[in-house]
Structure 1
Amino acid sequence: MSKRWDVILLDEVEQWFFTLDRDTMATVAGAIDLLELEGPTLGRPVVDKVNGSRFHNMKELRPAGTSIRVLFIFDPARQAILLLGGDKAGDSKRWYDRNIPIADARFESWLATEHGG
């Protein structure tokens, strides 16, 4: 049996996830499932590196056929921590400028707790 990677949704991401319509929710869940199966080896087009984060290994999950993005990072325990989800449609640059600092702060908070390893 192959390794499955732990994927943790912060409460804010879980709340956002349940606001999605059924089709979008299924697409996002499919991308999360791939992340769970492939872990850090999952690459484009499903995962891409994010520029502008204070953390060099911040990435984005890119569910197929959508402008939905989920910012995430692997913590010291090698768990994928899903930090923030949203739709960048029509506001791509500003979406990143606004949300990367939020994701950074959430990860810092994660690291400051016992959850960070």
Structure 2
Amino acid sequence: MWEIELTDQASEWLLSLDQKDRTAIAGSIDLLEQLGPNLGRPAVESVKSSRHHNMKELRSVGGNLRALFCFDPRRTAIVLLGGDKTNDWVGWYDRNIPLADDLYDEYLGEIRKEGLI
């Protein structure tokens, strides 16, 4: 099993979802926990235009929900944020990848301060 952490933004997003959507993305998070970096398409896809080469998107089972995540240097998956890209296929990435980059930078700074990396 792989360790999964969520930012406050990711947790708030998950809690805002209805039961059907929460179950769909939770299923993908469960797969990520089981398979870690070995989880591939169709559940995970690399993200272009991120400052972080290891930024990926986690796709919900049978839907348009996406969660952006990275494996940190400890090989813990950090789910940064999520959203629904329905009817906004390009714009969703344009808005959210920079936010996820900033969240990941902040997260890395925090675990450095704590001496975890």
* Fold shared, TM-score > 0.5 on shorter chain: yes
1:98 to 95, 98, 102: 95
2:20 is aligned with what amino acid? D
Question: What corresponds to 1:32 in structure 2?
Answer: 29
Question: What corresponds to 2:5 in structure 1?
Answer: 8
**Could you tell me how far apart the structure 1 residues matched to 2:80 and 2:25 are?**
14
1:36 is aligned with what amino acid? E
**Could you tell me how far apart the structure 1 residues matched to 2:7 and 2:32 are?**
16
Secondary structure of 2:90's partner?
Answer: helix
1:99 is aligned with what amino acid? N
Quote the offset at 1:92 in angstroms: 1.0
Structure 1 residues 35-81: Cα deviation after superposition (integer angstroms, max 9, x where no partner): 00000000000000000100111000001111100000000010000
Identity %: 50
**Could you tell me how far apart the structure 2 residues matched to 1:93 and 1:52 are?**
12
**Could you tell me how far apart the structure 1 residues matched to 2:30 and 2:39 are?**
11
1:21 to 18, 21, 25: 18
1:16 is aligned with what amino acid? W
Question: What corresponds to 1:50 in structure 2?
Answer: 47
1:80 is aligned with what amino acid? A
Deviating more after overlay: 106-115 vs 36-45: 106-115
Greater than 2 Å deviation, 4+ residue runs: 114-117
Question: What corresponds to 2:74 in structure 1?
Answer: 77
Question: What corresponds to 1:63 in structure 2?
Answer: 60
Consecutive unaligned residues of structure 2, counting only runs of 5 or more, are none
